[in-house]
Structure 1
Amino acid sequence: MIRTVNNSDAQVIAAIYNHYVINTPITFEEQAISSVDMVRRIESVHHSSLPWLVKEQNGEVVGYAYATPWKERSAYRFSVETSVYITNDMKSKGMGTALYLALFAELKKKNIRTAIGGITLPNSASVALHEKLGMKKVAHFEKVGFKFGQWRDVGYWQAQLESFNHPV
């Protein structure tokens, strides 16, 4: 089941995210975050009128996906940056695909035209997920983050969402 996030999901979402913060270069965050910080992030996404979805399996949250504004200038209002995180033991089971497809459907309803996903490189699993969903690599920034004693590259993948209708 995929549903809209609730603030009560913040603790499990923080735990999912903190696995990546502490153990991987996937996120450039370097300190674990609290559930209070996660509630603030959830509320910020809701304040932007963008979706934040969670995937449940057997009543437990096993992943989440959300969108944030790409940039603050008004002309960027039809573009978002997307993120998806899955519990470590549920990776490669179609959860990321399901979450991204649901997220894209919600973004289309909100008249979002462009979805952009940033990926710390190398990350073959995330690249495969984004490309499976029709996203194309549009940028590669070298050595823009420093984590775990190494400079890290970031690539950006972009999808044009089909049902965009420019407002009159």
Structure 2
Amino acid sequence: MIIRYVEDRDAESIAEIYNYYVENTTFTGDETPFSKEHMKNKIKDISKDYPWLVLEENSQILGYIYLNQWRFRSAYRHSAELSVYIRNGVRTNGLGSKLFSSLLKELKKKNLHTIISAIVLPNNASINLHEKFGFKKVAHFSEVGYKFEKWLDLGYWELVL
């Protein structure tokens, strides 16, 4: 099992992982699956400025984690938004923790002060993972999303570095 920087060749596997969540869960607000090309462009855009890591075992991507710009105004340049996804059906066995640990080491190379995560609620596994690494809940928005015929709450967690 290795954790490494994302590469173009990972786009299809990452799209597969993400599209499961798009099509079957409320854990993402996206409602339309991503094509391999769309994911390749997203990877290219994000990874030029922020770390994007994949966890690979036996040539299969089991999960990924990345940071992205949190807001588009210059005053927020020292904050970033975190996203993490694990392939459906894989026993996690701490895969999320391994990805978090690796990403937090990468942050030492960046000029960041605060990491923010948006979590569609309920999602106890994601909350527990974030809080294990010191993230604190700072906001709760009621019924701000709508997917699969139901209203969704959104929580924000932050980690001040």
SS in 2 for 1:44: helix
Matched, 1:37 2:38: yes
Contact 1:50 1:107 in 2 (8 A): no
Partner of 2:96: 96
Query: What amino acid maps onto 1:10 in structure 2?
Result: A
Q: Do 2:86 and 2:92's aligned partners in 1 also have CA atoms closer than 8 Å?
A: no
Q: What is the rounded CA distance, in whole Å, between the counterparts of 1:14 and 1:114 in structure 2?
A: 27
In the alignment, which residue of structure 1 is the partner of 2:81?
81
Give TM-score, length-normalised by structure 2.
0.96
Task: Classify the secondary structure of the residue corresponding to 1:72.
Answer: coil
Distance in 2 separating the partners of 1:40 and 1:62 = 20
1:66 is matched with which residue?
A: 66
**Residue 165 of structure 1 aligns with which residue?**
none
Q: Distance in 2 between matches of 1:51 and 1:37?
A: 18
In the alignment, the residues of structure 1 paired with residue 136 and residue 77 of structure 2 have an alpha-carbon distance, to the nearest angstrom, of 21
1:50 offset after TM fit, Å? 0.5
> Secondary structure of the residue that 1:38 maps to in structure 2?
helix
Q: Partner of 2:29 in structure 1?
A: 28
The runs of 5 or more residues in structure 1 that have no matched partner are: 162-168
CA-based RMSD: 1.0
Counting only pairs closer than 5 Å after superposition, residues 131-150 of structure 1 correspond to structure 2 as 131-150=131-150
Give, in angstroms, the shift of residue 91 of structure 1: 4.6
Instruction: State the 1:46 CA deviation.
Output: 2.2
| Equivalent in the alignment of 2:106 | 106
CA offsets, 1:57-116, max 9 Å, x none?
Answer: 122110000000111111111100000000112253111111111112112211211111
Q: Judge conservation of contact 1:55–1:64 (CA < 8 Å) in 2.
A: yes
- Distance across 2 between alignment mates of 1:116 and 1:15: 25
Q: Distance in 2 between matches of 1:83 and 1:17?
A: 11
| C-alpha spacing 1:46/1:89, structure 2 compared with 1 (3 Å) | same
**Structure 2 unaligned runs (5+)?**
none
Q: How many residues align?
A: 160
2-structure distance, mates of 1:129, 1:116: 13
Question: Hey, which bits of structure 1, 4+ residues long, moved more than 3 A?
Answer: none
**Distance in 2 of aligned mates of 1:84 and 1:91:** 15
